[in-house]
Amino acid sequence: MDLVFLDTNYLVALVYSDVAAGDDVRHWIQQGRRPSTSAAAWAEFLNGSLESADRRAIEALLEDRIAPFGKPEADCAAHLYRAGRCKREDRLDTFIAATAIVADGWLATRNRRDFLRFVPFGLKLA
């Protein structure tokens, strides 16, 4: 199964019925990609102000495809942090990118510029 990992900003955009985000997700589904997210992005998403109906709608879209963050992801994130010359505030981005890399999935983000430095290390941007 080809996964597209939704960054936190995509999850938020879907909650706010952003037409472009919805169109992107429908397009990826038509291409055979399944919406997913990382545990790191999910935690960040849940930290925001969120209605229970919105949470249920996003959970229905993801169908439990919330990828855990374990040792392989941690090892990859540490490599990205060092190789990408990241700052402390970029750490969560390395967690999110590493999850997509380890799963051989795609990352959908509205902050492409923040993630471009990870492309040479295997990140595929949707």
Q: Where are the domains of the chain?
A: 2-125
In the predicted model, residues of the chain with pLDDT beneath 70 are none
Please give, one letter per residue, the 3-state secondary structure of 15-84. Answer: HCCCHHHHHHHHHHHHCCEEEEEEHHHHHHHHCCCCCHHHHHHHHHHHCCCEECCCHHHHHHHHHHHHHC
- pTM of this structure: 0.93
Which pLDDT score, from 0 to 100, does residue 75 have? 98
Residue 49's pLDDT is what?
A: 83
Report the top-level CATH class of 2-125.
Answer: alpha beta
Q: Can you give the pLDDT at residue 119? A: 97
The pLDDT of residue 70 is 97
